[in-house]
Amino acid sequence: MALSYSPHWLMTMKSLLLLFVSMLLISSVGCQQRSASILLGRWVGRPDSAALRLQREAKKYGEVPSDNARTTLSEVAVGSGSATRPSAPSQVTDWENYDVTVLFDFVSSDRLEMSLDGEQPRSGHWKIVSTSPVGYIIEVQTEQESASGEGASVLRRQFELLLDERGGTCVGFLLTEVGADRQQGALYFQRPGKSISVQSD
């Protein structure tokens, strides 16, 4: 026997469903707005390396040894068979072959300026495509002149940003291009004036 529902019940369920969908949309928009606000401003990026990753992880989890008993990063990377030591990549990434500085300036929630080694900034538009507990995927759109010199086309590229958070504050992020070969490597971005260089005794 087919079930029948009263018009009042159907209207009530429809109203509840619309309310639920509206709350989801509002929550999604609010989350993206908060995500965008985290990134706003200037960030300086440099090629990332295994040594820098080891140093960041040590600082993040409070594992930096005292001055009297410090183990160098090279000893950690090639130590004698420790089962817990991080594994180092077998080869240098493409980015590590270049001594470059990349500037990302998230001017607003949809506008971005980029420059390489202090050159003239290049403007573009950006948006958050997806979010996760550890970061975002953003899409950057820039205009590219055609080879014939007639008009310009829009170039779209997506990047994954893995946030480096300390005490609830984003102090940096690791950037890789979506779909790129792992050999390309990554750039680590942080606010201007901060230093992540490897220290030695």
How far are the Cα atoms of 46, 58, 63, 93, 199 from residue 96, in angstroms, in the given order? Answer: 9, 21, 26, 5, 18
The stretches of the chain forming alpha helices (DSSP H) are 7-39, 50-60, 73-77
How far are the Cα atoms of 19, 52, 148 from residue 98, in angstroms, in the given order? Answer: 53, 15, 30
40-93 confidence digits (pLDDT tens): 999 999 999 999 988 888 887 776 544 443 444 434 334 434 334 444 445 789
For the chain, domain boundaries: 7-64+90-190
115-132 confidence digits (pLDDT tens): 999 899 999 999 999 998
Q: Provide the 3-class DSSP secondary structure of residue 52.
A: helix
Residue with the two structure tokens 């493409």: 94
Nearest in space to 117 (alpha carbons), one of 129, 134, 93, 100: 100
pTM of the model as a whole: 0.67
